[in-house]
Structure 1
């Protein structure tokens, strides 16, 4: 309810489409006071005023004071210059000896890292320091990614894979010259039909997996819409941090190590045959160290599969301005594909404002605020007839 997109739809329904505050509150399920607040923010600061605002407290009594922060930095440099131990525990001791309130050693460590006073030494990092996560049940989380292989002539071929996070069971491994968004959607639907609906997915931020994190216009893509339709939680790793998808990244190493001693395939069909052979070996013949030396197939079928937790509906809110084309339509990208909304040739050239809520679109004249038509998007077709005919 607090997203910038929904707030913009609410404000423009009042300012541009002529709804009263009470009508807007009833339509969008918010209070009239909230509608008044949004309109006031928009008039004062424009669209930036509709962004969610921090709820953090204005003061933090437990925050380390600037005096203590500065003294920690001084002690670190002084102790290093003296050739003495300069770890967090030693620094805390000196602070207490000087009559200062010493923060915890973890806080001191964070300050030293933030000031660039700690030289990373990866070789000394203990294995216990790594944060390891694993889904509790099969289908609790599916990791997906696209890697690549090369044919004998050097041609690069994409390989799409889905891996069950709990059991490491390889759900999908298929080669193609290049993977598009609709191809990834079809693969996910095939897996759902075969293995059931997972509780969540984990991918990187590639455009075939997500459009909402890439700053692209056009709303959610087909992959995101399919997840939404089945109440599947979508998880995405941070850009430049492939460790989040560590299992599937490590799986890619296993795959390419297995392919390396074999003759390079001449065609995508030959590569797919190798991938099928690898998938059978990986799932049914190779005991996996991370799952107690069981095969992924055994681990995948050992427990009841997880299902989506049916979280609260996460609606999509957007606005768009356009001019009606000569054919009497306006274009709208929905689920990663361009759709054409019918409004009638008589309105060609007129400027319009589209308010989009999931698959529901209300189109009004951008200058007069007159409601021209309503549409409910049918994702199976391009042309979308109006559910409320143009006036």
Structure 2
């Protein structure tokens, strides 16, 4: 999912919550804790919006949006001139959205109102809980590569943490407390590195001069 799809300023309003399915673009909660929060989860927390994930193997949770997609696909297939480019497809989608929301009456709404009429008539629930103070914890296992680096994904972005070539191929535990990171030797418990991660940088240098390249056994 392109970042511009979720990195918006919520010009209409900020909802109290947003439901999604369990695709990795929406949530990493079923990924075994390897990736931490992704970009969407981080942005929703920043906006104090509660994220509600659907239950696996429970299709009725997302049934309404899936029914909408079915209607949209049928409408697109019925058009006499089919789009040949992304721009032409987008133009057709804009026509469909306008027709669906502003003009097409819906049997499920009182007096067969349009979605736009129902939306305008209702009061809007906004964020009521301050989530900015929530702390994200996780522990993951990994192995430092032959260059002395271990990777860590934070807020949907992959970062490379410099540990040092002397620790190449060491199995480690990575303790994550938001941006505070500790890398510990999994066998001995030795603290190999502690840092506050800079989210704007890919590589997080050790700040030490490069060490010798360890010899590899043949």
Question: Within 1, Cα distance between the matches of 2:170 and 2:205?
Answer: 18
Instruction: Confirm whether residue 295 of structure 1 aligns to residue 114 of structure 2.
Output: yes
TM-score (norm 2): 0.77
**Compared with structure 1, are the counterparts of its residues 385 and 241 closer, same or farther at alpha carbon in structure 2 (3 Å cutoff)?**
same
CA distance in 2 between counterparts of 1:193 and 1:203 reads 17
Name the structure, 1 or 2, with higher relative contact order (CA <8 Å, separation 6+): 2
Match of 1:30 in 2: none
Residue 205 of structure 1 contacts residue 214 of structure 1 at CA under 8 Å; is this kept in 2? Answer: no
Q: CA, structure 1 residues 368+203, in 2 after alignment: closer, same or farther (shift >3 Å)? A: same
Contact 1:331-1:339 within 8 A present in 2 as well: yes
8 Å CA contact 1:359, 1:377 repeated in 2: yes
Partner deviation per Cα, 1:209-253 (whole Å, 9 max, x = no partner) = 122124462223222222222222121222232211222122123
Which entry has the higher C-alpha Rg, 1 or 2? 1
**Aligned-residue CA RMSD in angstroms?**
2.8
Is 1:382 the counterpart of 2:194? The answer is: no
Contact kept? 2:33, 2:138, Cα under 8 Å: no
Residue 50 of structure 1 corresponds to which residue in structure 2?
none
Q: Measure, in 1, the Cα distance between the counterparts of 2:199 and 2:90.
A: 31
Which deviates more from structure 2 when the two are superposed, residues 203-212 or residues 222-231? 222-231
Q: Are 1:186 and 2:4 an aligned pair?
A: yes
Task: Kindly indicate whether residue 126 of structure 2 is the aligned counterpart of residue 307 of structure 1.
Answer: yes
Q: In 2, are the aligned partners of 1:355 and 1:362 still within 8 Å (CA)?
A: yes
| Other structure's SS at 1:375 match | strand
- State the 1:349 CA deviation: 4.7
Any unmatched runs of 5+ in structure 2? 209-218
Residue 340 (str. 1) matches residue 160 (str. 2):
yes
**Corresponding residue of 1:202:** 19
Q: Which residue, out of 78, 86, 89, partners 1:271?
A: 89
Task: Note the C-alpha offset of 1:359.
Answer: 2.5
How many angstroms does 1:362 deviate by? Answer: 1.4
* Structure 1 Cα separation of the partners of residues 143 and 67 of structure 2: 49
Number of residue pairs aligned between Structure 1 and Structure 2: 205
For 1:218, the equivalent position in structure 2 comes to 35
Is 1:370 aligned with 2:187? no
Instruction: Name the SS for the 1:297 alignment partner.
Output: helix
Paired residue for 1:20? none
CA deviations on 1:298-322 (whole Å, 9 max, x unpaired) are 3333344322222665543222333
Which secondary structure state, in structure 2, belongs to the residue aligned with residue 189 of structure 1? coil
